[in-house]
């Protein structure tokens, strides 16, 4: 295991992580492909850390419609309190997409100063804040995008965010189909708008490769 690559444990050595894990009474479990990692009907006050593999958070509504809410890769954390609202009372589950290893830590163990006063506890708390803040940021970013009126405005706003990160030429970090879902637009309508934007000389596009002509 290389815990160093997991953001939650950044700045903490593998040995210290192991020490904290036992101090916290955290559990590490293995899951095969398709196996249920957790179910948010029974609310556990735990945070899950993807040590290895990947998983998907799946929502099933009362009509049986299934939606992938989030994908988790190695190093990602997930938990009931972390970034999803389930006001509709739908079934929300996390399912392993491959063979995976997940660590479960109780929230109150993170917030409490443990009795043995683990050296790196405050670092863990700071990392946790950082991760939640990052998630919060990506949520508010998406709200900014969704608050634009037209598909063109949504796309341009999103492309500008990407261009600030990667420059005027970049590859989409997701498929076109997923992009449509992300900006909550009909896929075909979005493709049509992308064509128009090319015709209007705003972008050049080839598959996932995009060149933003006029950076705002």
Partner DNA sequence: TAATATATGTTGCAAATGCAACATTTTGAG
Partner DNA sequence: CTCAAAATGTTGCATTTGCAACATATATTA
Q: Name the site residues for a copy of itself (rule: CB under 8 A).
A: 62, 81-85, 87-88, 107-108, 110-113, 117, 121-122, 125-126, 128-129, 132-133, 135-144, 146-147, 149, 157, 160-161, 164, 184, 216
How many whole angstroms separate alpha carbon 96 and alpha carbon 159?
Answer: 31
Q: What is the helix (H) or strand (E) element at residue 128, kind and residue range?
A: helix 121-146
120-135 burial: b if 16+ Cβ within 10 Å, else e? bbebbeebbeebbeeb
Helix (H, G, I), strand (E, B) or coil at 76: coil
Which range touches DNA (CB under 7 A), out of 26-34, 116-124, 132-140, 188-196?
188-196
Which range touches DNA (CB under 7 A), out of 22-30, 94-102, 127-135, 192-200?
192-200
Partner whose footprint covers residue 152, from DNA, a copy of itself, none (CB < 5 to 8 Å by kind): DNA
Residue 149 interacts with DNA (CB under 7 A): yes or no: yes
Helix (H, G, I), strand (E, B) or coil at 185: coil
Partner whose footprint covers residue 1, from a copy of itself, DNA, none (CB < 5 to 8 Å by kind): none
């Amino acid at each position: 295991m290389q815990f160093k690559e997991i953001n939650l444990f950044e700045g903490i050595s593998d040995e210290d992580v192991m020490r904290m894990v036992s101090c916290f009474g955290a559990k590490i479990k293995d899951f095969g492909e398709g196996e249920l990692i957790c179910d948010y009907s029974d609310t556990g006050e735990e945070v899950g850390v993807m040590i290895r593999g990947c998983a998907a958070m799946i929502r099933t509504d009362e009509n049986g419609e299934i939606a992938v809410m989030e994908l988790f890769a190695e190093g990602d954390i997930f938990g009931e309190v972390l970034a999803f609202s389930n006001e509709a009372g739908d079934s929300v589950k996390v399912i392993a997409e491959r063979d995976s290893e997940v660590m479960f830590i109780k929230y109150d163990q993170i917030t409490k100063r443990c009795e043995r006063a683990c050296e790196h506890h405050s670092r863990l708390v700071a990392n946790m804040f950082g991760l939640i803040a990052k998630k919060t940021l990506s949520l508010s970013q998406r709200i900014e995008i969704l608050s634009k009126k037209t598909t063109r405005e949504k796309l341009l706003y999103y492309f500008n965010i990407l261009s600030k990160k990667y420059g005027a030429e970049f590859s989409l970090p997701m498929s076109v189909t997923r992009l449509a879902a992300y900006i909550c637009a009909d896929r075909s309508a979005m493709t049509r708008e992308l064509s128009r934007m090319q015709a209007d000389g705003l972008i050049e596009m080839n598959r996932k490769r995009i060149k933003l002509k006029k950076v705002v």
